[in-house]
Amino acid sequence: MNVGLIIIGDEILSGKRQDKHLARVIELLAARGMSLSWAHYLGDDRAAISAELRQAFASGDLVFSCGGIGATPDDHTRQAAAAALGQDLTLHPEARELIWQRVCEMAREQGQQADPEHPDTLRRFQMGMFPAGAQIIPNPYNRIPGFYVGSVYFVPGFPVMAHPMIEWVLDQRHADLQRVVATRERSMIVLGALEATLSPLMERIEAEFPGIKVFSLPSVDHPQWGRHIELGVKGEAEALDPAYQALKAGLVQFGASIGTELVR
């Protein structure tokens, strides 16, 4: 099951805010022996979000969508999800109760009486309007829930809320995807070689060691190594070392110069 990430918000694309989701989601997955297959960034465009979500629902992937589930005019994700599913938005009863609890807490903090019919309260209830049939994701930060349909999960754009919610999804909904043996990497800095000439060696290693992936990261202006290629293998620990040694032996036969070796 591939894992995908959708990050929504004009503020990310304009540079007003730096994305903090991608790196953290990669960390959360890696801690569970999982990895991210793809990530897409979108602005606050309802049609574009709906098209992206339509593909996500059809893919069968485990997908996290971050952002745009609030109740302001620039929040479009809930509506786009409903459109992608061909469903109406309905007020989820459990979401309404959680939002009402939050409203009451805020009123008490301000020494006021909560009013379920106040315009501000009614606007907050809109955050519990989800596509028909959706289920909620608990929010430990302020109770305002996210939601999910199938294996597509919707969380707020705020990292302090989104990341614990993603952890809940991984541990409570998809523990079966977690692997006891995590993926590892071993690589080396290769000097005096070109990617094109190393491709046959890379293909041979992948053919000889099923489940192992060979990767190549070239650089032309590294401050320490200058022009070089970071060449390595990644996969389960048991098969990693033999594949790495075979790759290294192939480089020696090729006549390339091997510098620093790395383990992740």
| Residue 206 · residue 214 · CB < 8 Å | yes
Q: What is the pLDDT of residue 90?
A: 97
User: Where would I find the H helices in the chain?
Assistant: 10-13, 21-30, 46-59, 77-85, 93-109, 119-125, 159-168, 195-208, 237-254
* Alpha-carbon separation of residue 42 from 196, 242, 252 (angstroms): 34, 41, 45
Q: What is the pLDDT of residue 181?
A: 60
For residue 7, which of 59, 49, 61 has the smallest C-alpha distance? 49
In the chain the first and final C-alpha atoms are separated, in Å, by 23
Q: In tens digits, what is the pLDDT along the chain, a chain of 264 residues?
A: 899 999 999 999 999 999 999 999 999 999 898 999 999 999 999 999 999 999 999 999 999 999 999 999 999 999 999 999 999 999 999 999 999 999 999 999 999 999 999 999 999 999 999 999 999 999 999 999 999 999 999 999 999 999 999 999 999 999 999 986 656 889 999 988 888 889 999 999 999 999 899 999 998 888 888 889 999 999 887 789 999 999 999 998 888 889 888 877
CA 86, CA 12: separation in Å to the nearest integer? 28
Q: What is the pLDDT of residue 237?
A: 76
Q: What is the pLDDT of residue 183?
A: 65
pTM of the shown model? 0.81
Domains and CATH numbers, the chain: 3-177 (3.40.980.10), 183-263 (3.30.70.2860)
